[in-house]
Structure 1
Amino acid sequence: MWKLAYAASVVLLSTGIIFAQERQDPPEILKKQTDAKQVLSSWFGKKKTGADSITKKPSTISTLPSAGFNPSVGLSVGITSTAGLVFGDPRITTMSVLNTNAYLSTKGLLQFEAKNNIFTNDDLYNIQGNVQVGKTVALDYGVGTGSRARGEQGFSFDGLPLSNNNEVMTLSYSYIKFSERVYRRIAKNLLFGAGVIFNIYNDIDNEGKLGVNTRAHNYRYSVNHGFPTGGYTNNGLLLNLEYNSRDHINRPYEGMFADVVLRTNETWMGSNRRATQLRTEVRKYWGLSKVNKEHVLAFWFWGSFLLNGDLPYLELPGTGSDQTNRLGRGYTIGRFKGQNFAYTEAEYRFPLSKNKLFSGVVFANAQTSSAQRNLNDVNLGEYVEPGGGVGLRILFNKYTRSNLCIDYGVGTYGAKGIFIGLNEVF
C-alpha cells in the first residue's frame, strides 16, 4: 500500500529541512560545501559568504509543498512541515523531530500524518510515534513473488504508475493508525523498547462500486483466512531491541543500524485474529576513503516473518512496507507482498562535484515473499525479483546532510520508473 505522498515532491524555497539531526560536521568541512539552500539564496536574495553560512544558526523548521497526478487518484496537492527541538544539553543530545503532513486529491482521497522522534537528555530515552488518518487507494497485484501481471509494462513515478492498468485491481479504503514506542539505552549504542500499535481499516472497496467481485485479491484472501471483507482491525504490542552506531541518521558515512521487533496482535486489544510477527532490519555502511568520506558502500536487509496466526490483507508486508515506503526501487508500492517477506539491497555512493552539491548512487536489490496462490504454496526464496538503477543526489542542507534523491530504477516484467525522496533511501 502507499500513502498519498507519492509522485514528485516539489521543493519550493524551503527554509531548511531537519528530519533528524546528529552533531553536525566541523565548520572547516561545512565551509567547503555548497547546498541547495545557498544556491536558492544566491538566486533570490543576498548572497552569503561561506563564513556567514557557517556561523549563522541553521533553521530547524521547514515547509515543503508537493504535487502529483495519476488517473486512479486524480491531482494531489499537499504540504509537509518539520520542526526540530533539543530536550537537553545540545552537546550530548540528539535533536528531536516533529513532522506533520497533509494531502488531498481531486478524487476525494486524503491523508493526515504526524510523527514524533524525541530524544531526552544524553539520549537516555527515545520516544517514537506515528498517527495517520486518511482515505487512500492502492494497486493490488495479489500475493507472492513470481507472478506476472499482464500488460504491466509501463513507467511509474515515485512508486505510482503514470497510467492505469486494466489487469491490475485498485483497492480503496479508509484507515486510522496509531503507534508509540519508548526506547531506553541499556548499553553503548544499544536500546531496548516497548510500545503499542493500532491499525484500523474501514470502507474497503475492491469492487469499484459495481457489486461484490469474488475475483478481487482482498476479497478472496479475506474469505479464505477468516477476515471481514469490508474492514478489519490489527492491534498489538511491540518489543524492540535496537543497535545504532551510525555517525549520522540522514546520510551515514560509517556505522551500523540493526532493529529487531517482536509484534503480537491480540484479540483482547481488538484484532480480528491473533498473530505473532518477527521483523528484522540491518543497515551497514563502509567508508571507502579517508580523504573523501562521500565514497560509501551501503547494505540493507529488511524482513518480516509470521511466526504464528494470520494477518489481514492490507497488513501483509511487501514492497514499500518500510517506514518511509521506499523499499523496492524499480517497482510500484505494493507490487509484491506475502505473509513472509525478505528484501536486500546494496548501494555505492560517490561524490560528483567538488563542493559536494551533487553526488550519485548505483544500487541493486532483490525481494522475495511467501504466500498461497491458486491453492499452491509459494515459498520464501522460491521466486526472487531483482531490481536496480542509478540516482542523483542534491545536497539540500549541509548542516543535516539532507539530500534530495532522484533515482531511476528498473525491475522484472518491464517495471521501471523514477523515484523521488528526501534523505537517503536507507
Structure 2
Amino acid sequence: MKKLIALAMCSSISLAVFGQNEIEQGKLYISPLPIIAANPAFGVIYGGAASVGVYMGDPTTTSMSSGLITATYSTKQQLMFTFKANSYTHDNEWMLMTDFRLFFSSQPTYGLGTGPSSHILSDSDIEFDEALSTNNGQGEMLNFNLVRIHQTGLRKINETMYAGVGYHLDVFGSIEDPLVDLNAMPPVASNHYAYSVKYGFDPTAYTVSGLSLNWTLDTRDNVANTYNGRYAFASFRYNPEFLGSDQSSTQLWLEYRDFVGLSSTSERNLLAFWSFANFTTSGRLPYMALPALGWDQMGRSGRAFPQGRFRGNNMFYAEAEWRFPLPLIASKPDLLGGVVFANVTTASSEDNNINLFQYMEPAAGIGLRIMLQKRARTNLTLDYGWGPNGAGAFYLNLNEYF
C-alpha cells in the first residue's frame, strides 16, 4: 500500500478542558482536529474532524453518547462527509446507532477473496466463462458517489441488553471504471465491471435498501474509550426489491468486543479484543455493498490496509490490542498512552472457489495516545500498521479504534 502521511495541529485543545473534574448532563465535550494528509493515490487530503461526547441523561444512570463528524476534500476532487454515533437516551432507555455518509469519491478495488493474486481480467473474462480474479496487488481505481443512511434504534430489555430495528440505505451512483475499455484489443474489464454484468447489476449505479432486526449486550463503561466491559451485537438485514434494492438479499452481522484489565492501579493498562463476521446469507449484493475491510460502522477495521483492500461474499475479522499508560509527564500522568495491536482478515469468493479461513491476511502495529479530554476520555490516536507485501500506513484519528 502507498504510505499515508498525516499531520494535525491541535492548538484549539486547551489544558483547562483536560483538567475539568465535573461531569455535567447535557454538556458537549467537543474535540476538534484539523487534518492534512497526503496519499500518492488520492493526492493531498485536508479538512477537519470533531469528536463529540454528551450525557443525554443523569451521568450516574446514563452512558455517554459518542459521535464523530468528519469533512474532507482532496486535490483529486474527492469530497467526503461522515457522521457516526452511538447514543444513549435518559437512563439508557434507548440506544441509537447512526452511520451517515455522503461521498463524491474514488477508491481502488482488488477483486474478491483473500489469498494469492490471480490473473488480471482479459477478453476471456468478459464472456464470464472463467472465475473472476481474486485481489491483485495493484488495485483497480473506481470512481463513485455514495449516499449512506443507516439508523438503528434499540430499546432496553434489562440493564445490559437491547433489541430493536433499523433502516439501511446505500445508494451508489455515477460509478466509473477507468480501467474498462471494451474496444481495446484484447478488451479490458475490471473485477467490478465483470461481477456487475455477470450477476445482473448496472455497473454505473445500484442501490441496497433494507430493514434489520438487532440485538446487543453492552456493559462498557465508556463507548469512545472503554476501560472495562464487553459488547456483543447481532444484526439480520433484509434487503427486498420492494424497498428499492436492485436485487433482494439478506445479510448477517455478528460482532464481539471484550476489555480485560491488567493492573489494579491503572485502568488504562488493558487488553482489548474485537471480532466480527459479515455474511451474505441469501441473494446477491452489488460489488461495493459486499462485505469489505474498513466498511464497518466507524470505518476502523484493517489498520495497515486501505479501505476495501479485502472484499468477498463473506468476511471474518479479528483484532487484539494492548493499551497502556505512558506517565512521562509528572504533572499530567494520564496525558500519554501507547498501544500495540495485531489484526487478521479472511474473505471468501464463490467465483474463485475461496472459502472463509482458507487464506488469512495479518497485520500489526504500534501507536501513541494523547488524552485531549479526560472527562470524556477523548484520545488523539496516532498509529502505524504493517502488513505483508509492503502494506503499511500511518493513521491519525479521534477516539479509540474499538
Q: TM-score range by the shorter chain?
A: 0.7 to 0.9
CA separation of 1:56 and 1:193: change in aligned 2, threshold 3 A: closer
CA separation of 1:306 and 1:184: change in aligned 2, threshold 3 A: same
Q: CA deviation at 1:69?
A: 2.4
1:114-155 Cα shifts (integer Å, max 9, x gaps): 3454422111012233332221111111111013499xxxxx
**Corresponding residue for residue 63 of structure 2:** 94
CA separation of 1:93 and 1:402: change in aligned 2, threshold 3 A: same
**Corresponding residue for residue 75 of structure 2:** 106
1:54-99 Cα shifts (integer Å, max 9, x gaps): 3597862343221222343332221234544443334322344555
CA separation of 1:167 and 1:180: change in aligned 2, threshold 3 A: closer
Q: CA deviation at 1:239?
A: 1.0
- Partners of 1:132 and 1:56 lie apart in 2 by 31
1:11-50 Cα shifts (integer Å, max 9, x gaps): 42234xxxxxxxxxxxxxxxxxxxxx42xx6xxxxxx9x9
CA contact (8 A) 1:145 1:369 kept: yes
CA contact (8 A) 1:109 1:136 kept: yes
User: Which letter does structure 2 place at the counterpart of 1:419?
Assistant: Y
- The counterpart of 2:10, out of the listed 9, 12, 23, is 12
CA separation of 1:346 and 1:135: change in aligned 2, threshold 3 A: same
> Is the aligned partner of 1:395 residue 2:393?
no
CA contact (8 A) 1:348 1:363 kept: yes
CA contact (8 A) 1:250 1:401 kept: yes
- Partners of 2:222 and 2:66 lie apart in 1 by 14
CA separation of 1:339 and 1:9: change in aligned 2, threshold 3 A: farther
CA contact (8 A) 2:63 2:221 kept: no
**Corresponding residue for residue 215 of structure 1:** 189
**Corresponding residue for residue 111 of structure 2:** 142
Counting aligned pairs with the same residue, the percent is 35
User: Which letter does structure 1 place at the counterpart of 2:35?
Assistant: S
CA contact (8 A) 1:149 1:167 kept: no
User: Which letter does structure 2 place at the counterpart of 1:398?
Assistant: K
**Corresponding residue for residue 284 of structure 1:** 258
Q: CA deviation at 1:282?
A: 0.4
Unaligned regions of 5+ residues in structure 1, if any?
A: 1-5, 16-36, 42-47, 151-164
Q: CA deviation at 1:246?
A: 1.2
| 3-state SS of paired residue (2:348) | strand
- The counterpart of 1:295, out of the listed 241, 264, 269, is 269
Counterparts of 1:21-420 in structure 2, within 5 Å, are 37-38=14-15, 53-54=20-21, 60-97=29-66, 99-148=68-117, 167-207=138-178, 214-353=188-327, 355-373=333-351, 376-420=352-396
CA separation of 1:167 and 1:129: change in aligned 2, threshold 3 A: closer
| 3-state SS of paired residue (1:223) | helix
Q: CA deviation at 1:274?
A: 1.0
- Partners of 1:396 and 1:147 lie apart in 2 by 42
- Partners of 1:175 and 1:128 lie apart in 2 by 19
Superposition CA RMSD, Å = 2.6
CA separation of 1:89 and 1:351: change in aligned 2, threshold 3 A: closer
- Partners of 1:97 and 1:251 lie apart in 2 by 10
- Partners of 1:276 and 1:109 lie apart in 2 by 31
| 3-state SS of paired residue (1:8) | strand
User: Which letter does structure 1 place at the counterpart of 2:334?
Assistant: K
User: Which letter does structure 1 place at the counterpart of 2:340?
Assistant: V
CA contact (8 A) 2:106 2:144 kept: yes
User: Which letter does structure 2 place at the counterpart of 1:106?
Assistant: T
**Corresponding residue for residue 159 of structure 1:** none
Q: TM-score, normalised by structure 2?
A: 0.85
CA contact (8 A) 1:369 1:379 kept: yes
State which drifts further: 6-15 or 68-77: 6-15
**Corresponding residue for residue 125 of structure 2:** none
User: Which letter does structure 2 place at the counterpart of 1:113?
Assistant: T
User: Which letter does structure 1 place at the counterpart of 2:363?
Assistant: G
CA contact (8 A) 1:318 1:335 kept: yes
CA separation of 1:211 and 1:217: change in aligned 2, threshold 3 A: same
- Partners of 2:147 and 2:350 lie apart in 1 by 28
**Corresponding residue for residue 131 of structure 2:** none
- The counterpart of 1:422, out of the listed 378, 383, 398, is 398
User: Which letter does structure 2 place at the counterpart of 1:173?
Assistant: F
CA separation of 1:353 and 1:191: change in aligned 2, threshold 3 A: same
- Partners of 1:59 and 1:234 lie apart in 2 by 34
CA contact (8 A) 1:9 1:421 kept: no
CA separation of 1:408 and 1:134: change in aligned 2, threshold 3 A: closer
State which drifts further: 395-404 or 336-345: 395-404
CA separation of 1:60 and 1:88: change in aligned 2, threshold 3 A: same
State which drifts further: 122-131 or 201-210: 201-210
**What is the number of equivalent residue pairs in this alignment?**
374
- Partners of 1:358 and 1:98 lie apart in 2 by 22
Q: TM-score, normalised by structure 1?
A: 0.81
CA separation of 1:99 and 1:393: change in aligned 2, threshold 3 A: closer
Q: CA deviation at 1:383?
A: 0.5
User: Which letter does structure 1 place at the counterpart of 2:234?
Assistant: V
State which drifts further: 391-400 or 239-248: 391-400
User: Which letter does structure 1 place at the counterpart of 2:21?
Assistant: I
Q: CA deviation at 1:298?
A: 1.4
| 3-state SS of paired residue (1:280) | strand
State which drifts further: 76-85 or 242-251: 76-85
Q: CA deviation at 1:211?
A: 6.5
Q: CA deviation at 1:377?
A: 0.8
Q: CA deviation at 1:409?
A: 1.5
